[in-house]
Structure 1
């Protein structure tokens, strides 16, 4: 069916459509903001050896903060960075501003100093464990509550990073690779994702999905098919099928583990690649001030770089989790996992290949004599 059966699922599908339209528009505004206004990540990091011509070219653009009518404390377009361009749409355009609003409302960064970012990270592990327990329930309404809890976990994951940056007076998204907060956040994220996978696995073990032969009377099946079904699976007669008899069989738990394992492998590979390219792009474009600033700014502003980062906004691990949450809410968990458990690897291979090629192009442009990216 094109539409999920329940009214709640239909409303969620409509909400998803609205979110997609909103994110496409925000991507458009983000690209225009990068093209037409100053990029503050290049203003305070340059040393005195920069070429004067490069400096003048960078400084000719207007300041975005002076023209936007939305406060830069909550506006996700104000301070574009490498990581900001690679964060998934939901976190960047919805949970990010929402984190800022919550922070401003309760003054979490300014006055509630007893609550540290690491404490928020540990708390969302607790939320994930509760959600994982609810995911094992056969009642769809309870599993939908679990989805809500996992979305709260992802919001808290965004909130802890926001609080950490505010207290360090860092503008925009950045990865502080190797810091204590970096490792605590990563470990807590891992526990949350593992909890979700375990909850889904236990649910599918206790409520196995079914497969079978529709519209074919059992008497007409070849003997080897009958033997395989009767020896390994339960057979159910479905009288609702008008064109014949439907014999459905339960998917084995071994198959469930295989599919979940393949999907989890995609999550691991996606996470490793995503973090690698954030680190590489940051080093090339943001951190290495000895490289020509004009070439770095040109690379950052290029449509090809925006496309390269957009690709990882779509295939990063957070996007996988949002899609999985949507599938659970619509009671399509098994269908989603089965449809992506192989196909997702092809997408990742393509994304990694394109990223490696583009990194070489950036290096050639920035370090070489080429004038075109």
Structure 2
């Protein structure tokens, strides 16, 4: 699957299965935590309660439950975020004044460029090194947000829409993603995939420069053109843009609806009920597996497994259909939540 050694392939497959099982287990724990414990913002001694239940809240992804945290992809929420916290605990980055979150953001763009250069290589081993580098970039992307929140004494994931840091982080993410896509483009142009092979048709004349014999009775179809490669990669780029725009939009909307503090007691109760609803969990979980970070992670897995072209072809059009469907579901749910919480909203109660 991912190399010449079948034992190595089985090992990697086993690790992937264990990782998926871990993500599902943590999802079950997170859903239980949402249903059975008050949210931190509604109780002063929440840190004591959570520490007794989940261990240190410095590292547990189950303590600070926010809208953004439940809409994060699994690797970021359950792996990179605790790793960033541990890294900061060891090196005390947030206490070093001359290291700013924006500096970390710019630095992980450089890591992404190095990763892209490796991904463009003809060597599978080098491309796998590129995947590892981009995962380090993802951890640093979590670290810049962690450092920014630590300096402001903010607990839990959140998006400060409109802040300088929000735009710098978004720009650096876009640059890093663009670099990765360019690396994939260079690799595919230098190693153009073929359309597969088919049984030799004796009645159809072969064109020598468009086919290659691969054995008795078989013939390769022509290579994929550079134009086709660019079009296919453009589709995944457009999907990443659509996913990023929609994901950030719904994080902002849900934060405003469910984490707004200047509300009446009745509205606060409705906020908690809406947050704990099964439909809210379904919408958030859909974004967990189709947000831009999740799509990039899937692309990295494809590069690592040497199945980049197969992945791009599989998601080229289906990805748009899935994303548009999730956007429609989210839009309808936002309207329902707004109506449920603020159905009595008037000029006298507007916030």
Gaps of 5+ in 1: 45-58
Indicate the SS of the match to 2:15. helix
Choose the corresponding residue for 1:235, options 195, 211, 214: 211
Aligned position for 1:265: 238
Structure 1 residues 187-206: aligned runs within 5 Å: 187-206=171-190
- Answer yes or no: is the 8 Å Cα contact 1:42–1:297 preserved in 2: no
CA–CA distance in 1 between the matches of 2:15 and 2:297?
13
Q: How far is 1:64 from its partner?
A: 3.3
Q: Name the SS for the 1:68 alignment partner.
A: helix
SS at match of 2:213: strand
Q: TM-score, normalised by structure 2?
A: 0.92
Matches within 5 A, 1:111-150: 112-150=96-134
Does structure 2 retain, via aligned residues, the 8 Å contact 1:38–1:63?
no
Once residues 138 and 123 of structure 2 are traced to their aligned partners in structure 1, the CA distance between those partners, rounded to angstroms, is: 23
Task: Write the mapping of 1:265-344 to structure 2, written as runs, cut at 5 A.
Answer: 265-287=238-260, 289-290=262-263, 292-344=267-319
For 1:120 and 1:342, locate their aligned partners in 2 and report how far apart those are by CA, in whole Å.
Answer: 35
Alignment length (residue pairs): 340
Q: Distance in 2 between matches of 1:4 and 1:310?
A: 29
For residues 38-62 of structure 1, the C-alpha deviation after alignment (integer angstroms, 9 at most, x for no partner) is 2013458xxxxxxxxxxxxxx9x99
5+ residue gaps, structure 2: 345-351
Any idea what the Cα deviations from partners look like across 1:3-29, whole Å, max 9, x if unmatched?
444444443322221111001110111
Secondary structure at 1:214's aligned position in 2?
strand
Residue 53 of structure 2 aligns to a residue whose secondary structure is coil
- 1:164 paired with 2:140, answer no
Specify the alignment match of 1:83 in structure 2. Answer: 68
- Whether 1:246 and 2:219 are equivalent positions in the alignment is yes
2:79 paired residue number:
94
1:127 to 1:365, Cα distance in 2 relative to 1, 3 A: same
CA RMSD of aligned residues (A): 1.9
* 1:360 matched to 2:335: yes
Q: 1:246, 1:163 → 2: CA distance?
A: 57
User: TM-score, normalised to structure 1's length?
Assistant: 0.87
**Paired position in structure 2 for 1:30:** 30
Which residue of structure 1 lines up, in the alignment, with residue 39 of structure 2?
Answer: 39
Q: Secondary structure at the match of 1:109?
A: helix
